[in-house]
Structure 1
Amino acid sequence: MRSVVVQQPGHLEIAERPLPQPAPGEVRIRVKHAGICGSDVHIFHGHNPFAKYPRVIGHEFFGHIDAVGEGVDPARVGERVAGDPVVSCGHCYPCQIGRPNVCTELQVVGVHRDGGFSEAVVIPAGNAHRVPETIPDDRATMIEPFTIAANICSQLQPGPLDVALVYGAGPMGLTTIQALRGVYGVKTVIVADRIDERLEMARVNGADHTINNGRENLADWLTQHGVRPTLIVDAACHPSILPEAISLASPAGRIGIMGFSADPCTISQQGITSKELTIISSRLNSNRFPMVIDWMARGLIQPEKLITHSYPAEQVLEAMETFEKDQKQCCKVLLNF
């Protein structure tokens, strides 16, 4: 089978590999589409500290089950499924309280173990989620990206009284905007980004107001419009954002952090406590696949608005370059196997 393998940082190739066989409790998925994420690019460049090489990358994938291991119902063969990349132990403290995404023995498909940029991938049977026929194949590939938004929203608990500020109109920000507007019905969604074309994408995906905070002072804009955000999502992941968010947030506001920046930032404890702010972080997803599949089936989100490019798997390098460098026109890129 063909697999996209990062042999070592900076060295990617399409290799012929043996077809994997599912172990007990596992299924094999014949991949039809896989989505490119920033973390795939980071592994390619050697910037992901969790990745081991060589590695078949890819954690956003859709296909059908074509083989099952011992203990798995053979009737599952043929199911259309999206794969949850979070593989957890099931017995540590985070797993016991429903947070397998931070399992003490966490493995992420495409990072710690071989992923979905391949003609076939093997995952635990419980990680393969059936997709209704009403959801087209390409949109089904977007289930995993929307689980990232589902995870942070489930923690922030948005509602109709909220005025939301989202930093960043990349894929994470855009999926969050759609969830805030289409699922949770927040009153107002404001988006800040430094690329005008990204801000246009934000408007297409449901933003009420957009601000280029590379040209315009965000605090001044909010003051002029009499706005105090009650809910702030950092989907841009720059160390300057959290201190600013603490300053801008309404009393009793909530701030959600989606990024993995290792750069330090300085925050004021007084700024947090004086307004009794809630600050939460979010990694991957904690069993959010059924939730997002339901959203899609009910038409609450429109994943097709985020898919801007599609390439044959053989053109993976071109596809990754487009994803990484064309921030004005590109949002989500799919590989076709």
Structure 2
Amino acid sequence: MKAFQVNAPHDYRVAEIDVPTAGAGEVLVRVAFAGICGSDMHIIHGDNAFVRFPRITGHEFAGVIEAVGDGVEGKRVGERVCVDPVISCGHCYPCHIGRPNVCSALEVIGVHRNGGFEELVAVPAANVHALPEHIGLDAAALVEPYTIAANVLDRMQPHPGDRLLILGAGVIGMTILQMARALGLEEIIVVDVIDERLEAAKSLGATHVFNSRTQDVEQEITALTQGEGVPLIADAACVPALLPQMLRLASPAGRIGLLGFSVQPSDLVQLEVIKKELTLVGSRLNNRKFPEVLELMASGQLDPLALVSHRLPLVEMPEAIDMLDHRPEEARKVLIQIGT
């Protein structure tokens, strides 16, 4: 069968590999669609410290159960599913306090073990979620990015009436925007450097958009908030140099959600944090957010297909990677169609 395999940084190809089998406690999923994520690009470039090579990447995917391993109950062949990539031990301190997404022995499908850019993939049965009837497999492949949004918003603990500032109008920024709207936040500010992305943000419900290349964002937001600042700031740009600005823009008692994996240091002025009693939270992957996202998607409150700019077959993965590397302004979410 065919799979997209990364052998080492910058060494990748669509290859023929052996068909996997479903072990005890696992199901074999025939993948229909998989999304390319920024973290997949980090693996390809050698910027992911967690990956083990060689690796079949892909942690955003959906398909149909092809086979069920020993000891699996409640799953059936032919069932349409999406897959939570977070595999935790259930015994360590984070798992014990309900934070399995930062398990001490964490494994991520597509990073530590093979993922969805292959025709068939074996995954733990506990990680598959049945799809509501009217959610298509293409939309279901994008449940995982929305769980990232749900997780960071949960970590920031929104209050009714809170303003939200989203830095970055890429795919994660847009999932945060849609999720925030679904959760009832009414005033959402989006900042980016690409006007087309900002127009897309407006179409998805952003109330204010600013281009940081052509506008003084701090001045605009200070005026908009009458000098108070913003209670919620989600860093979907993941640029370490932006942290000082986030500290200045945060309101007293504000919460800042950080999503980036950069190893570059950020300047942090302790006075800004202390005088406003700010909360900075990291957010990694998702903490059991798949049911919540599926419910919102089924109710029509999330529109995942609005994020999709390209649909390509698996054999064109190298071309998709080249586009994302050299012409990122052309793409939003790139979906890879693997099966039918």
TM-score tier (shorter)? over 0.9
**How far apart are the structure 2 equivalents of 1:237 and 1:224?**
25
Identity %: 48
Structure 1 residues 309-330: Cα deviation after superposition (integer angstroms, max 9, x where no partner): 0001000011222233333331
Q: Residues 94-243 of structure 1: matches in 2 within 5 Å?
A: 94-181=94-181, 183-227=182-226, 228-243=229-244
Aligned match of 2:33: 33
Task: Provide the secondary structure at the position in 1 that maps to 2:90.
Answer: coil
Corresponding residue for residue 22 of structure 2 = 22
Q: What code does the residue aligned with 1:2 have?
A: K
Give the structure-2-normalised TM-score: 0.96
Q: Does the CA-based 8 Å contact 2:68-2:75 persist in structure 1?
A: no
2:292 — aligned with what?
291
In structure 1, give the amino acid aligned to 2:84: D
Q: Is the contact between residue 160 and residue 184 of structure 1 (CA under 8 Å) also seen in structure 2? A: no
Distance 1:159 1:307 in 2: 31
Deviates most, 321-330 or 134-143:
321-330
Question: AA paired with 2:98?
Answer: G
Q: Deviations over 1:292-321 (max 9, x none)?
A: 101101111111110110001000011222
1:260 aligns with 2:261: yes
1:278 paired with 2:268, answer: no
- Counterpart residue identity of residue 125, structure 2: A
SS across alignment from 2:328: coil
Distance 2:329 2:5 in 1: 28
Unaligned runs of 5+ in 2: none
**C-alpha offsets along residues 261-302 of structure 1, whole Å, 9 cap, x if unaligned?**
111112122211111111111001111111110110111111
Conserved 8 A contact 1:198-1:327: no
Flag the 1:14–1:199 CA change in 2: closer, same or farther, 3 A: same
d(CA) in 1 for partners of 2:316, 2:28: 24
The DSSP-based 3-state class of the residue aligned with 1:251 is: strand
Contact in 1 for aligned 2:222/2:249 (Cα 8 Å): no
Aligned residue type for 1:251: P
For residues 223 and 104 of structure 1, what CA distance do their matches in structure 2 show?
41
The Cα offsets for residues 90-138 of structure 1, whole Å up to 9 and x where unpaired, read as 1111111111111111111111111110001111101011111111111
Secondary structure at 2:251 match in 1 = coil
Q: Which residue identity is paired with 1:211?
A: F
CA distance in 1, matches of 2:6, 2:65: 25
- The 8 Å contact of residues 25 and 69 in structure 1, kept in 2 or not, is answered as yes
Q: Do the aligned partners of residues 290 and 74 (structure 1) sit closer, same or farther apart at CA in structure 2, a change above 3 Å counting?
A: closer
Identify the residue that residue 251 of structure 2 maps to in structure 1. Answer: 250
Aligned equivalents of 2:81 and 2:162: distance in 1? 34
Q: Are the aligned partners of 1:9 and 1:44 in contact in 2 as well (CA < 8 Å)?
A: yes
Indicate the RMSD between aligned Cα atoms, in angstroms. 1.3
Question: Does the Cα contact within 8 Å between 2:75 and 2:125 map onto a contact in 1?
Answer: no
C-alpha separation in 1, matches of 2:124 and 2:277: 41
Deviation at 1:74, TM superposition (A): 7.1
Give the 3-state SS of the residue equivalent to 2:312 in structure 1: strand
Shift of 1:139: 0.7
Deviation track 1:48-95 (CA, whole Å, cap 9, x = no partner) reads 111111111111110011111111127521110101111111111111
Residue 190 (structure 1) shift: 0.5
Q: Contact 2:4/2:14 (CA < 8 Å) preserved in 1?
A: yes
User: Do 1:159 and 1:185's aligned partners in 2 also have CA atoms closer than 8 Å?
Assistant: no
